[in-house]
Structures are given as C-alpha cells and as structure tokens.
Amino acid sequence: MSSIGKLMKQAARMQQQMEQVQAELAARSVEATSGGGAVKVVAKCDGTLAAVAIDPQAVNPAETQLLEDLVLTAANAALAKARDVAAAEMSKVTGGMAMPGMF
C-alpha cells in the first residue's frame, strides 16, 4: 500500500477515535464550587454547563453582586476543568499533536 493510502487510513481511524472521544466527553462532567461550597457548578466536558446549585443561605438580596461573582467564579472553574479533561482525552487520540480548531 502506498504511503498516501496508509496516511489516509490513519487519518480516518484518528477521526473515528476523535468522534468517539467527543461523544464520551459530552457525557462526562466535572464540578467546581466557590464561596466555600455556597455555589456549585457542573460542566460537561463538551464545554456546556449542566447545572448550577446555590445554597439558600448564600442568598441575601442585599448582596446579589457577591452571589453573581460566586456563580461566575464557579462556572469559570468548572469550564476550565472541563477543557482540561477534554484536552487530555483528545491528546490521547492525537498523540499530542495540536489539532487546529479542537479544544
């Protein structure tokens, strides 16, 4: 088989593996908290948020800015964890090669 044929087969196999990993990542989630656990955010490893939980004791109408900051901090932390998991899993498929447009 020619080198180009082998390369095409490898590329097709890598694409199938990447699609499988992406499907697995869509089902996998991570969580992060802020405010000592007052706010918890769950993110899926496909880059979407799955849930936000706020301890009722953290809700004070006079301090909405603080609560907003806690939610934002937890959301960003959860998404960062999700990106790290996704990058690690995709790296296993790509052998560490940087793939443009992928995570």
Any idea what the CATH number is for the domain that residue 14 is in?
3.30.1310.10
Residue 100 belongs to a domain: no
Res 1 pLDDT > 80: no
Nearest 5°: phi and psi at 54? -120, 125
Res 8 pLDDT > 70: yes
Res 37 pLDDT > 90: yes
Tokens of 37: 């656990």
**Domain interval for residue 10:** 3-94
Residue 54 belongs to a domain: yes
Runs of H (alpha helix) within the chain? 3-27, 64-94
Residue type, 20: Q
CA distances from 103 to 9, 37, 82, 87 (A): 23, 28, 10, 6
Res 76 pLDDT > 90: yes
- Tally the domains of the chain: 1
Give the model's confidence band at 22: pLDDT under 50 very low, under 70 low, under 90 confident, else very high.
confident
- Whats the size of the chain, residue-wise? 103
